[in-house]
Chains A and B, each alone.
Chain A
Amino acid sequence: MAGDKIFDDDLLSRCMSCGFCLPSCPTYQLTGEEASSPRGRITLMRAVQEDRLDVTDPTVLAQSQFCLGCRACEPVCPAGVQYGQLLEQWRDTEWQGRRRPLLARALMAMMSWLGMAGITLLGLVRGAAVTRRGSAAAPHLMLGCVERVLYPRVSRSARRLVPALRAPAVQGCCGALHAHNGESAQGRRMAQRLGKQLPGTIVTTSGGCSAHLTHELGADRVVEFSAWIAAGNGPDPASLRPIMLDERGKPLPRHASGGRPARIGLQDSCHLRNAVGVWRQPRELIAHLGEYVEVPNAAGCCGAAGSYSVLRPGDSRAVLAPKLDALAELDLDYLAVVNPGCYRQLAGALKGSRTKVVHLAELLATAAD
């Protein structure tokens, strides 16, 4: 390893160690330790780059994996450090020629090209929105690997809201998971392939895919669903019916009178907010659907973080815990999400509570019906 440059020198030297990123970092919030902060991790990267530490040093390995990759450290950094890119470079090298955790490999194999036939089939069985119709000039709706299997209602809702969207059944995986797990070249290839399969504008309902695809294909080709609707594609948000609930919190039928507007909060998708900069739009849309309630630290990671909740369930729960406390106090009717990972994490944790976790596209479709 000695002598080889792992990190882009320009990216690495941007950090001036001011520490402004510390309070935004969920893992630093858990430990209060420098090594599990963004600044500390960058210090470790520097030590690796300058041969003071080996990339396989136990702390170096532990900290790369403890990092959620949520990139909450990026928008708060006045120096403009692109931490997400450094993290990809870090993980790429770390796992070169080594065997990464079995679960991570299994997940990635499932998502990669070979597994696509299976994903497509599962998506079909689960009833994700699949259609050849839609106008030829209309954007493509990306179905997402995880989302089409776990939450097929999301793409169905999106298409119900905007019937012109095209949603071919055969579409690859964007490779975000690979890019975040030490396979950035593979992740890039998969994104390029998907770009070819879905020519023109690609609309996504998953914050994570959106960020990765935007990075690989450019912001002119990729747009996240809520930002796309807020920009005036699809129904005018003002024409949507606010979601009204009876005293017991059950939605009232469209033409019923009375009731109260639903209390709706939002959990940001880390990558959507921190990498793509989309966070105002979902809030604006929700304000048309009911009473918008800002969830404390909505921008803070819920612990799902791609494959993190599967690979590190303990840490994932620890990151989630303060959010659950805050949510319990808010007593929302709906918690809207814009990413399937957050959906899975929060729906699981809030099972049995009064607050129902839904994708924003689902809420929008309900309000439009």
Chain B
Amino acid sequence: MDSTELAGRLAEIVGERHVRTAEGDLEAYARDATPLFRHRPDVVVFPGDAAEVAAVLKLATELSVPVVPRGAGSNLAAATVPLAGGIVLVLTRLTEILEISAPELLARVQPGVSTRALAEAAAGRGLLYVPDPGSQVVSTIGGNVATCAGGLRGLKYGVTRNYVLGLEVVLPTGEIIRTGGRLWKDVAGYDLTRLLTGSEGTLGVITEVTVALVPKPAAARTGVAYFADLAAAGRAVAAVIEAGITPATCEFLDRTCVAAVEDYAHLGLDTQAGALLLFGDDGDPEMVQASLTRIGQVCTEHGATGVTLAESVAASEELLAARRCSLPALSRLGSLTILEDATVPRPKLAEMADRIAAIAARHELTIGTFGHAGDGNLHPTCVLDVHDLDAIERSHAAFGEIFAAALELGGTITGEHGVGAAKLPYLERRLGADQLALLRRIKAAFDPAGILNPGKLGS
């Protein structure tokens, strides 16, 4: 079936207004936030409800046309690039917050709701939606669940997976199922909610999400500590945890990132320092104050060259907002920024930082590193000239070595951004052949025609 005919069939389902086939529109959906990947779809559709999603998927299965679900397209793993063409299924029309139940501490939302919008709606009821990926202003809940997004509060509170209670999901064959629900305790059957969380749009399309909320902590504050280098900061983080403190937030930036962020946010950060640790805690105001003071002390004992606590909530929020912008701020330094995502056990953080620095030096590359120190999750980011093909080639080699180093230290090839198309070549090294084969059998059980997000996780 050619794409005009396909578009016609899709228009019967969602209405003509919600189908796009013009070249320019296809070009706009040819990429996401991942550099170096680009492929035009044949058609873009914007369904208005789960029934329409079901009809689209059923048709696609019948015709064996690839379908790529898409939220805000802020992922960094080429997870929404339609490598095999076909349909891009955009969920931005589904933006309703269906329910916030304070007594049950939960919210029920459509997948296109932005993370920020959910957080604000919860805050309006005195509640907190915990997961807060750096991309929260733009990313959607559907995308967060599909990638199991991590955030700045990961250390104390966990990631998206820990807050998903239930899902409504459309299977590629068109059935609509509900997994989990409104309960914390429910062990009836395999835990499909967890399986679907982080499935990167390869098993089903999420059309509704029920998430757990927590009471909003009375206070939340942050502070910064400066170090000679990232490895020193990593050692301080390990010491803080060993001292029995679990900060809510524990983020680090190396010198390159501090300079880029300062250039954007003008917060008066010390751009001479080799590394910055941004720590924070929340809860009872006195406890927060005590915890921040203690973290500051431990940092000083472990080599911090300076420590400052944010004076006010507004200042704390500014610091966090600046940290969330590290990646785009880095792109001020060059015409191409390639960000990667690796995680190591926390005690290995310092060693991993050293190895990344050595790898960058050996390949003569500028690699800035920032990340979620508390989770051992690093984002080495290579900044280069888009026309320097040789440097791009070297960066591929460097990242290969960085992933190998992460695995060697007992870590993983992605802590939060997902596998997508970008990491697929490394997946077997992480999981082994047997587990990968099982993954593929699971994929086939959900998606017999193999239409959902081909070329990505599970392919």
Task: List residues of chain A with CB under 8 Å of any chain B CB.
Answer: 9-10, 13-20, 22-23, 32-35, 40, 43-44, 47, 52-53, 57-60, 62-63, 76-80
Contacts and interface: CB of A to CB of B under 8 A. Distances in A.
Contact of B24 (A9, A13, A19, A44): A44
Interface stretch (B96-104, B324-332, B361-369, B411-419): B324-332
Given A53-B23, A80-B332, A23 B325 contact: no
B386 interface: yes
A62 to B, nearest CB: 8
Contact of B331 (A9, A14, A47): A14
Given A17-B33, A19-B138, A80-B332, A44 B22 contact: no
A32 B46 contact: yes
B317 interface: no
Contacts of A62: 24
Nearest to A43: B28
Interface of B: 20, 22-25, 27-35, 46, 72-74, 90, 92-93, 95, 112, 114, 116, 135, 137-138, 263-264, 325, 327-329, 331-332, 335-337, 386
Given A22-B138, A79-B331, A17 B28 contact: no
B285 to A, nearest CB: 27
Contact of A19 (B90, B95, B135, B331): B135
Contacts, number: 107
Contacts of A9: 335
A32 B73 CA distance: 12
Contacts of B30: 43
B329 A78 contact: yes
A23 B135 CA distance: 11
Contacts of A57: 22-24
Contact of B22 (A15, A52, A58): A58
Contacts of A79: 328-329, 331-332
Contacts of B332: 14, 79-80
A60 B331 CA distance: 25
A20 B328 CA distance: 9
A49 to B, nearest CB: 12
A78 B93 contact: no
Contact of A43 (B31, B74, B90): B31
A32 B331 contact: no
A13 B20 CA distance: 27
Nearest to A41: B28
8 cross-chain pairs, A with B, having the tightest CB-CB distances, nearest first: A59-B24, A32-B92, A13-B335, A78-B325, A78-B328, A16-B331, A35-B28, A34-B28
B293 to A, nearest CB: 31
Given A18-B74, A23-B138, A60-B24, 6 more contacts: A16-B327, A20-B328, A34-B28, A35-B25, A58-B22, A62-B24
A47 to B, nearest CB: 5
B78 to A, nearest CB: 11
B24 A20 contact: no
Contacts of B327: 16, 18, 78
Contacts of A23: 114, 116, 137-138
A13 B331 CA distance: 9
A15 B335 CA distance: 8
A222 to B, nearest CB: 23
Contacts of B25: 33-35, 59
Contacts of B73: 19, 34
B425 to A, nearest CB: 22
A18 B23 contact: no
A77 B328 contact: yes
Contacts of A63: 24
A35 B24 contact: yes
Contacts of A13: 335-336, 386
Contact of B264 (A33, A47, A58, A80): A80
B69 to A, nearest CB: 14
B373 to A, nearest CB: 21
Contacts of A76: 137
A58 B24 contact: yes
Nearest to A13: B335
A368 B33 CA distance: 53
Contacts of B93: 32
A18 B24 contact: no
Given A35-B28, A57-B24, A16 B138 contact: no
Contact of A16 (B20, B28, B33, B116): B33
